[in-house]
Chain A
Amino acid sequence: MTENLVGIFLNSVFTGNILLAYFLGMCSFVAVSKNINTAIGLGFAVIFVLSITTPLNWLIYHFLLAPGALYWIGLPDVNLSFLKFIMFIAVIAAVVQAIEIIIDRFSAALYAGLGVFLPLIAVNCAILGTSLFMVERDHTFIESLIFGFGSGVGWMLAIISMAAIRIKLRYANPPYGMEGYPLAMIVTGLMAMAFMLFSGISF
């Protein structure tokens, strides 16, 4: 049991990294990785939102939407799973909004750090993608908790290392037209190769 959970965590951070292996959250990854401090801020915001929305969506999926989930109100034949896309995105948008209001109310310092990134996160594909993967891989509740947190950590690891590399790249002298996005993509490719090598290590 514990071994399995550790496996899910390590897999979602390294070999099955949500960004480098499944390409999710690329848009904000490329746009925000220019500065290391904003990268750290966005990384923490993503971990925070993912660890809340993934288990929450698990509960919603397994008690409202999955085939047979409505047996507790006497409707065992109803299958609402086709509603999962719209439901998940609504939950994510609502949670992000709620978190924004709560931290604005209770911690000005945290709001200054995370607040600006929260609206960006509602449409980050990594968040919705993690919830959808959680359904597809049949995780249990505890597993979905670990998986959400692990995916967030993996995403943060990727964006911080990218930001650090891009600081060095400012002093590089790439060929004409290569500056900016093309170079960022190729560097990401090389990083993805490095992360894949973790799959050779058996945990």
Chain B
Amino acid sequence: MSHGAKMKKKNNALKIFLQPIWSKNPINIQMLGICSALAVTVQLKTALVMALSMTFVVSCSSFMISLFRKQIPKNIRIIVELSVISTFVILTDEFLRAYFYDISKQLSVFVGLIITNCIVMGRAEAFALSNPPHLAFIDGIGNGFGYGSVLLAVAFIRELLGSGKCFGFQVVPDYLYSMGYENAGFMLLAPAAFIIIGLLIWLQKVLTKDGELNR
């Protein structure tokens, strides 16, 4: 392989990794997988665990599906994809239950719902079925990080404004409270998540001058 081709290949992998984090962010641009994104963002801790679980599931299942992409018959591919994805979700859920029981209780059904998360299915259909395993893995990691970054951004805003904390540590100083500052309890409720994510998507659209798209 010539040097140029090698460079191109490396750039390609980097592009596959970076695209889903910003310009093709699964949540903000493609509007996939918001279902679970909102429910776990009351605290940064749960959001981080959810983001890592998601990254693990999407990258491993993309890798696996891409590995078998030539063996999977076309008309039963959906059920094959679902079983691969469910296997990794079960692994994640059992792992969390064994080592992080409290967080697993807080995440409740949302780890299980990774199965029906459109991102995982979407990447399997749109990318893993037509690309080699290592690229599919990178694509999965990129999408997991893209998803995670939005989750963490929403969780950061909600936890900071809603309970004055950051990863469970108090960051709003006591004298502010004694001066009459109060936490915005609204931030901990469901509607706040919708509104924050709406504002974040708006921000990204304005920054990428993408406002006319998806009208």
Contacts and interface: CB of A to CB of B under 8 A. Distances in A.
Interface string A165-184: 00000000000111111111
Given A21-B190, A196-B191, A86 B90 contact: yes
Contact of B90 (A26, A82, A132, A179): A82
Interface residues of A, number: 44
Contact of A125 (B35, B193, B213): B35
B103 interface: no
Chain B, interface size: which category? 35 or more
Contacts of B211: 176-179
Contacts of B118: 27, 123
B75 interface: no
Interface string B195-214: 10111011001100011011
Contact of B109 (A127, A129, A184): A129
Interface of A: 20-27, 30-31, 82-86, 89-90, 93, 123-125, 127-129, 132-133, 136, 176-186, 188-190, 192-193, 196
Given A83-B90, A177-B211, 20 more contacts: A23-B34, A23-B190, A26-B38, A85-B90, A85-B93, A86-B87, A86-B90, A89-B82, A90-B82, A125-B116, A127-B116, A129-B35, A176-B206, A177-B202, A182-B201, A185-B194, A185-B197, A188-B194, A189-B191, A189-B195
- Closest 6 CB pairs between A and B? A185-B198, A189-B194, A177-B211, A189-B195, A132-B109, A182-B202
